[in-house]
Structure 1
Amino acid sequence: MEGEEQIGEMLTCCYSNLFATVNPTELDSVLSGVQPKVSDSMNTELLKPFRMEEVHIALKQMKPDTAPGPDGLPPLFYKNFWDKVGREVSEAVLSMLNSDNILIAHETLHYLKTKRTGKTGYMSMKLDMSKAYDRVEWVYLEKIMERMGFDKKWINLITMCIRSNTRPEVQAAIKTFLGISAIQRYEQYLGLPSLAGKAKKKSFSLIKERIWKKLKGWKEKLLLQAGREILLKAVIQAIPTFTMSCFKLPKGLISKIETLIRKFWWGYRGEQKKIHWISWGKLCQPKKEGGMGFKELIKFNDSLLAKQIWRLGNNEGCLFHRVFKAKFFPNCSVYDCEVSTKGSYAWKSIIQAKHVMELGSVWRIGDGKSVKIRGDRWLPQNSALKIVSPVAVLPPGAMVCDIIDQKEHQWISKLIAQEFLPYEANIIKGIPLSDRNIPDKQVWHASTHGVYTTQSAYKLLALAERNKVPTCSTNRSSSNIWREIWSLQVPYKVRHLIWLVVVWEKDAELMKCTRHKFSVFADLLELIFSLRDRTDVNLLCIIMWQIWNRRNSARVGDSIVEYHHIRAKAEAFLLDFQTAQVLEQRDLGTAGLGVVIRDWRGQVVGALAERIPIPKSAATVEALACRRALHFANEFRIREFVCEGDAEVIIKALLSMEAVHPEYGHVLQDSLVLANGFKVCKFVHIKRVGNSVAHFLARRSKSGMSYRFGVRPFLRI
């Protein structure tokens, strides 16, 4: 699709089909079975004036901890302070926001502003997009409400709410009565700038003002740093999220926002300044590396914008993709397009985040026809992703399909051994292939399900930057001390104090409580953690916290607890938190598949044991075993089949029809296709103890044993 006229026709056609009526005529036959359900008393109740109590009832039905609204407060706040804010909330009008609408509207307005040629002028009209009732025939709604017995006044009220076409004479009357004229330009659309000119910092300054108002209201509450951390992460850093998903915020504005956050974190009061004991970069590191896990807004902004690129590359049916593809990348994918100087600021913001996609996207091999052997990222995520072996037999521009036997759907082992280094050859042969000639697909290797997530992209960006900074081999951030601190079964404020003291690495009064000599507190803490089997570490940390509080009380002249009473007080204060850690282990070397087929009496009538090159995850082995079991059952022409497995993640994925995992998603798709060939096929999860025979066969096959037998007389159709 090329040219302004074709794009305009496409938009017109889309909305014409979306909102136009088909003028249904035979509604009586459709509604003949609808019986009246609404009584006179129900109509009387419906037609009563709306009351503030009804709004309160609706609020009570909301979950208290759902995502906060534009004001940053969850429903729990309004439930607790309804007596103070109820009247204002009852009169408020809430609207649902949609980033697609914003991006399309921004691009449209940018085009109207920059158009300088031609004799034909254009105008824009602000409409509510994609309302659910616009997808339903309005005359059908009226007729079915009549059949159900709704009062005519109620039907008229509902009709007024859903119809969006105001007659011209009504518009003229309203403008005359109010003394207003048609708006020539919208400064904002859905809370964001309709146009972003050169003064971009000014266009987005409202974000800083909202954050400042929030922080200013919290300063008088004298929160502990543990409380400040929760507020900063849950509210403050969430305020610019919606804007950052559509636009790249200026670095100067982000710097000012992060300055406000840092001041609040370190307890600024008015003009009073306080020392920033730890750098902002350190605070933004993950907790397991010694930081507090705050977000660096520049990286978070890029990760949000990269999600729009992912959507443009994977949601080809949506209007967002169709509009932007027609204008910016009509002859290629969004991953291959270049930045257009004529694009709006929204488009320039999105496309500059391509480096994020290049960091985390990888090809999942199907038929191999779209992926270059050298240059593209297609190796499993635990390896180097790109081929490093020098060119040997194949030409430099060879595709992955050149090393796949398309008929047998297997790797050409001999050619792979000639072309690649031994370790890369083993990795390639361990990549599972589909039984069908499906196309290659780009997936997101940083998430477990192969779909782009903002969180995983942010982690990739942060990790890439940290890897650029050289560190010494004895850097404490790489040790287990941080994990030990945050896994303590003590109140959060105690863990926070222990973390802060370790980061500062200052001598404290706590050092006087031991006969050992340590240069920093972290050394003492590591000794305590090493004695976990003989020491109640949680109680010791509570005692340290009590000693610190005693020191602070004595410093300001408050009453203090005697040292011999501290242990008893710490024991009373200690809460019984529960934590658990599950360590996953997997075998190295080859992998084994084990399959057992039983008849309705439980008798074994078929068994299989095969050895395969091990993939990069145990889940992939389980997916391959499931597919092999379906093939094995199909060989015996079984019509009704129950597939039992002890891999819960695989069984759940098959039951939910989710087959998008970057490594084994296509294997699950093969299994679902095979399952459709049976008269009855069910997937059931069982415990390992119930699958011990198949597990035994799989383990034996790893040592080189291949086994297969079947008793056909028991397996008749």
Structure 2
Amino acid sequence: MVNKEKSAIMFSKGTSSSAKRKFKGLLHIADEAFSDRYLSLPVHLGRSITSAFGYLKEKIWKKIQGWKEKFLSRAGKEILVKAVAQAIPMYAMSCFDITKTFCDDISSMVCRYWWNNQDDERHHWLSWQCLSNAKSKGSLGFRDLHIFNLAMLAKQGWRFLQDPESLCGRVLRAKYFPNGNIVDAVAAPGISYTWRSILKGVGLLKEGLIWRVGDGTKIKIWHDPWIPFGDTRRPRSLRGRSPISLVADLLDPTTGDWDADIVASLFQPEDVHSILSINICDGMEDNLAWHFDPRGQFGELNVPTKIKMFVWRLAHNILANRMKISRLGVDLDTKRPRPARFSWGWVNSGNLSCSAPPARAPFELWKKDEDIQLRVVTFLCEWWNVCNKVNAGESIADPKVVCSKVEKSLVEFLSLKRKEKPPKPPDVHKWEKTPDNHVKINFDGSCQCRSWWSEAVACIAAISGANKIGANRIIFESEASNLVQALKSKTYDMSSVGVVIKEARSLCNLNFESFDFSFCHRACNNAAHELAKLGVISESMDSYWDDHAPSCIATVLARDLAGPF
């Protein structure tokens, strides 16, 4: 319900008085309001995008120019930049293309703040482009705002693909692409700036989209990306004069699988192999998915953030030492400070088991154990602080005091990192009996390749077997944790095996009163594993044992059934 007494209507500047009265009467809204921004977004953009989004720069500047912010450590500045300064324009960037020029202005502002320190040092030791590379590449992982802006707009396009029947999706489709798909929409004169911005994101989205083959009726063979190999994800073969244009024409209508003869006659051998290896299931619809799955884990040095920042600066050779400052034209004594020579000599004496000179220390560290890495980088950070204090006019610190501070820092950090945990009881893995009125089916797949696919096909076979014996309450158990997770949610519905996963879920909903998918340890699935191995070498397509078990699993079954459940 809409409360019209609390609502107001907004008109553009060129709207006539008669038109305003007409719309007010139709909508039964009496109040007229005008505001530059609504929900923190500009209402009217005009010709100057910079002016429309100028308030974003003002907000960022207020957050980073305060006197408290100037005295933050490097680690504190990193958090402020990532969590505050670069987070402010995110909401606007999810709806509008704020332009590369405007993003560069914000980045320049943040970059100046990053390199300014308490001593008003303003030299930029590394470019912003280097700082905005990923941490996995040795940088700090600051956002490239223009690329992030396009990614946010691409995400809006992805939402329209996944939920085309949403209110926003239906409105935009009715106005801009009534007879097609959002990936086929093109910019035209007179469109809104919001829609023009989303189309830029869709253009980026197209670079990574791929069609998952279902019935093939929506996929154009020679134009759409549908082959999950190569850079373009399209056929490398030339079309020639072939009248076949849809992927549906490459499928055998009887079996629902690929028609190998037609595929071989149209495509080159490398394309034939790629096409025939695509998993399809009869009766499923085509759908667009994201081809690249950027999952991955990268190792890192487990030390306090301020020490990470120091090691990063040391590894990139951007510590502001006397030699580097002299290269900027500042007249300084370039001799190494006495405390640096003395302290590093103490390290070389064997206390921290490091023989590399300071400049090579970050690279030699990765050859050491984690405990030694932690001790060395903690010492290096403290050594650098002592040098800076001496250069500022303070007295030389006693080496014993320095070492004591290092040991204290290590103890404090390790006490937080290594909290005492009660010992875990040893894991005992044993196959368990199902509850009353339920049937448990363990399944496993085995093949020379495509293990994900074999596990999924084995699941379909298990569902078919349960249906044949007339079971209504089923528990399907597998050692493939990813497959179980995929079957219990929609996480992998857009993956290459998504068609089989959706088919398995659909068959269960159709045939069983209740069902569940459960993960078990490999030791609890030995019987299914041995049968899968037998199936690989067996000449029979299907094998069924009613009153006895094959000899290869007799011992396994006896062990599983022995003892209390």
What TM-score comes out, normalization by structure 1 length?
0.61
- Provide the rounded CA distance (Å) in 2 between the counterparts of 1:437 and 1:189: 46
Q: How does 1:79-94 map to 2 (within 5 A)?
A: none
Structure 1: which amino acid aligns with 2:236?
S
Q: How does 1:256-275 map to 2 (within 5 A)?
A: 256-267=105-116, 272=120, 274-275=122-123
Is the 2:442–2:477 contact (alpha carbons within 8 Å) kept by the matching residues of 1? Answer: no
Give the structure 2 partner of residue 571 of structure 1.
Answer: 407
Name structure 2 gaps, 5 residues minimum: 324-335, 419-430, 550-565
Note closer, same or farther for the CA distance 1:340–1:537 as it changes in structure 2 (3 Å cut): same
Give the structure 2 partner of residue 214 of structure 1.
Answer: 63
Match of 2:88 among 239, 261, 264: 239
Is the 1:406–1:437 contact (alpha carbons within 8 Å) kept by the matching residues of 2? Answer: no
1:350 aligns with 2:198: yes
C-alpha displacement at 1:113, in angstroms?
5.4
Q: How does 1:543-692 map to 2 (within 5 A)?
A: 543-574=379-410, 575-576=413-414, 614-615=449-450, 618-656=451-489, 660-676=493-509, 677-692=511-526
Give the structure 2 partner of residue 529 of structure 1.
Answer: 366
Give the structure 1 partner of residue 563 of structure 2.
Answer: none
Note closer, same or farther for the CA distance 1:657–1:526 as it changes in structure 2 (3 Å cut): closer
1:430 aligns with 2:240: no
- Provide the rounded CA distance (Å) in 1 between the counterparts of 2:535 and 2:547: 27
C-alpha displacement at 1:564, in angstroms?
4.6
Structure 1: which amino acid aligns with 2:384?
W
Give the structure 2 partner of residue 373 of structure 1.
Answer: 221
- Provide the rounded CA distance (Å) in 2 between the counterparts of 1:567 and 1:702: 64
Note closer, same or farther for the CA distance 1:220–1:607 as it changes in structure 2 (3 Å cut): closer
Q: CA RMSD in A?
A: 4.2
Is the 1:430–1:614 contact (alpha carbons within 8 Å) kept by the matching residues of 2? Answer: no
Is the 1:283–1:292 contact (alpha carbons within 8 Å) kept by the matching residues of 2? Answer: yes
Is the 2:75–2:309 contact (alpha carbons within 8 Å) kept by the matching residues of 1? Answer: yes
Note closer, same or farther for the CA distance 1:261–1:334 as it changes in structure 2 (3 Å cut): same
Q: Secondary structure at the match of 1:644?
A: strand
Can you list the C-alpha shifts for 1:76-135, whole angstroms capped at 9, x where unaligned?
Answer: xxxxxxxxxxxxxxxxxxxxxxxxxxxxx9xx978x55779x98557777xxxxxxxxxx
Is the 1:187–1:194 contact (alpha carbons within 8 Å) kept by the matching residues of 2? Answer: yes
- Provide the rounded CA distance (Å) in 1 between the counterparts of 2:391 and 2:463: 73
- Provide the rounded CA distance (Å) in 2 between the counterparts of 1:520 and 1:655: 53
C-alpha displacement at 1:611, in angstroms?
5.5
Is the 2:71–2:118 contact (alpha carbons within 8 Å) kept by the matching residues of 1? Answer: no
Note closer, same or farther for the CA distance 1:273–1:599 as it changes in structure 2 (3 Å cut): closer
- Provide the rounded CA distance (Å) in 2 between the counterparts of 1:123 and 1:238: 42
Note closer, same or farther for the CA distance 1:517–1:611 as it changes in structure 2 (3 Å cut): closer
Structure 2: which amino acid aligns with 1:441?
N
Note closer, same or farther for the CA distance 1:248–1:387 as it changes in structure 2 (3 Å cut): closer
C-alpha displacement at 1:566, in angstroms?
4.0
- Provide the rounded CA distance (Å) in 2 between the counterparts of 1:345 and 1:392: 38
Is the 2:209–2:288 contact (alpha carbons within 8 Å) kept by the matching residues of 1? Answer: yes
- Provide the rounded CA distance (Å) in 2 between the counterparts of 1:321 and 1:275: 48
Name structure 1 gaps, 5 residues minimum: 1-17, 21-104, 126-163, 169-181, 449-455, 460-479, 580-595
Give the structure 2 partner of residue 248 of structure 1.
Answer: 97
Give the structure 2 partner of residue 203 of structure 1.
Answer: 52
Higher deviation after alignment, 389-398 or 189-198: 389-398
C-alpha displacement at 1:520, in angstroms?
8.6
Answer 1 or 2: higher relative contact order, Cα 8 Å, separation at least 6.
1
- Provide the rounded CA distance (Å) in 2 between the counterparts of 1:200 and 1:243: 12
Is the 1:379–1:386 contact (alpha carbons within 8 Å) kept by the matching residues of 2? Answer: yes
What TM-score comes out, normalization by structure 2 length?
0.76
The count of aligned residue pairs is 501
- Provide the rounded CA distance (Å) in 1 between the counterparts of 2:33 and 2:445: 72
- Provide the rounded CA distance (Å) in 1 between the counterparts of 2:14 and 2:447: 60
Give the structure 2 partner of residue 494 of structure 1.
Answer: 307
Give the structure 1 partner of residue 178 of structure 2.
Answer: 330
Match of 1:283 among 89, 109, 131: 131
Give the structure 1 partner of residue 424 of structure 2.
Answer: none
1:194 aligns with 2:43: yes
Can you list the C-alpha shifts for 1:564-590, whole angstroms capped at 9, x where unaligned?
Answer: 5544432331122769xxxxxxxxxxx
Q: How does 1:311-326 map to 2 (within 5 A)?
A: 311-326=159-174
Can you list the C-alpha shifts for 1:6-31, whole angstroms capped at 9, x where unaligned?
Answer: xxxxxxxxxxxx659xxxxxxxxxxx
C-alpha displacement at 1:214, in angstroms?
0.8
Match of 2:316 among 479, 492, 503: 503
Q: How does 1:300-319 map to 2 (within 5 A)?
A: 300-319=148-167
Can you list the C-alpha shifts for 1:641-663, whole angstroms capped at 9, x where unaligned?
Answer: 22011223332333346563332
Q: Secondary structure at the match of 2:58?
A: helix
Can you list the C-alpha shifts for 1:496-544, whole angstroms capped at 9, x where unaligned?
Answer: 11111111277995877669998993x44333312338x7222121122
